[in-house]
Amino acid sequence: MNVEGCVFIVDDAREIRAALKCMLDVANYQVRAFESAERYLEEQDCEVPGCLLLDIGLPGMSGIDLQRALVGSMDARPIVFLTGQGDIKSSVQAMKLGAVDFLTKPVDEARLFAAVDQAIRLDMAARHDRAICESIQQRLQVLTRRERQVMEFVIRGYLNKQIAAELGIGEKTVKIHRYRVMSKIGVRSVAELVLLVAHVGFQPELLVAGESVAGTAGAKHAPFDARGRHLSPEISRPEPGMFV
């Protein structure tokens, strides 16, 4: 059974494009077809989830060239490669660059559907994760400078009185900032806050090992070593959708 998403076919052979489109249409996939990598780059909509069904031997920009051009970009989609002959070197290269599968023409229908479904699911998961990260980043951006400082100490494991000493402010003031941080970020516990900021790769920037912000307290309370490495147990990434 197919999953929701569009299959973007890129193949220079009209008859192959037509055959693939017909096969996928019958299976109720959304399909768009392009005769070249250049045309695909010009006309595809990066906001549409889906996968790329890509001929490796395209004239002009080849399939591998297109794959390289898309790596790390917002236009990237999971790729299922097609080839007219079993090219082991090319298939290894494509898989190393992250291709989902490498299929030989004529394509086996069941294997094609399985590869396309896997690729679309991967794209949907990646888009969902990006949406979560963007949401978290937006929440972090509404924090004031002082709230961000307090948050950084909190996720390092400092107590309120230790944060107050480091920043040279009252403990009650720390509690107020801490409450505002939790409210703006939308979490109820420190554990949830730590998981959330870890999800976006947030790194505290306030302290260098052995130094303090206000100069009124040493770094002896900090749960990190002389190289600034956190000594707390390793933080696991949250489950998808946890903070949506």
Is 1 inside any structural domain? no
Count CB atoms within 10 A of the CB of residue 175: 14
The whole-model pTM stands at: 0.69
Q: Which residue has the higher pLDDT, 203 or 93?
A: 93
Q: Which domain holds residue 54?
A: 6-135
The token pair at 89 is: 């070197």
- Which of residues 135, 163, 194 is at a domain's end? 135
Q: Which residue has the higher pLDDT, 206 or 111?
A: 111
Is 242 inside any structural domain? no
Write the pLDDT tens digit of every residue in 173-188: 999 999 999 999 999 9
Q: Are residues 131 and 15 in the same domain?
A: yes
Task: Look at residues 124, 20, 10 and name the one whose alpha carbon lies nearest to residue 78.
Answer: 124
Q: pLDDT category, 104, cuts 50, 70, 90?
A: confident
Q: What CATH number does the domain containing 77 carry?
A: 3.40.50.2300
The token pair at 190 is: 């420190």
d(CA 29, CA 116): 10
Q: What CATH number does the domain containing 218 carry?
A: 1.10.10.10
d(CA 36, CA 61): 8
Q: Are residues 131 and 185 in the same domain?
A: no
| Angle at which helices 63-70 and 88-96 cross, to 10° | 10
- Secondary-structure percent of the chain, ordered helix, strand, coil, rounded to 5: 45, 10, 40
d(CA 205, CA 147): 13
- Which of residues 84, 106, 135 is at a domain's end? 135
Task: Tell me the percentage of the chain whose pLDDT exceeds 70.
Answer: 80
